[in-house]
Structure 1
Amino acid sequence: MYAIEFETVIRNGIMVVPEQYARLKNTRARVVILIENSESDQEVRALSNHSAGTIEEWTDPEEDEVWT
């Protein structure tokens, strides 16, 4: 697993991946959204208190071995 970072705008629930990453089309990926606006919706901010590790489908012991 590796990471790619870019900035984009989410409009109507759709996030556009920059053309320079066109090779990623039709690729399965995990998405982490970092929001800079500290005055964002309280409901959305509450989501940040939950760890992605608590989602069972995302737990893969083989991937975790890389970090230990």
Structure 2
Amino acid sequence: MYAVEFETDIRDGIVKIPEEHERLKNAHARVVVLVEEPEADTEVRAFSEHSAGTIDEWRALSEDEVWT
């Protein structure tokens, strides 16, 4: 599985695949829709914008040695 990212408008429940991704027009895919919604619940938005990289205690370089 691989990811392809593009922006498009959804019209009447239909997502138009851009021409540069034409090979996807007759393919099975898992779809994730990210919608910009400025009036979203601020508490939910706070959770979605959380990043482990913002917590100083989790930035220890020795922790990264596990993955190298």
Which TM-score tier does this pair reach, normalised by the shorter chain?
0.5 to 0.7
Shift in Å at residue 21 of structure 1? 0.4
**2:28 is equivalent to residue 6 of structure 1:** no
Query: Residue by residue, what CA displacement relative to the aligned partner does 1:22-65 show, whole Å, maximum 9, x if unpaired?
Result: 0112100000000111326x8xxxxxxxxxxxxxxxxxxxxxxx
Q: Percent identity?
A: 59
Task: Give unpaired runs (5+ residues) of structure 1.
Answer: 43-68
Q: Relative to total residues, which structure has the larger helix share, 1 or 2?
A: 2
Runs of 4+ in 1 over 4 A off after TM superposition: none
Task: Give unpaired runs (5+ residues) of structure 2.
Answer: 42-68
TM-score (norm 2): 0.54
TM-score (norm 1): 0.54
Alignment coverage as a number of residue pairs: 42
Q: How does 1:50-61 map to 2 (within 5 A)?
A: none
Tell me which residue corresponds to 2:15: 15
Decide which structure has the larger Cα Rg and report it. Answer: 2
Q: Cα RMSD over matched residues?
A: 2.0
Higher relative contact order (CA 8 A, sep 6+): 1
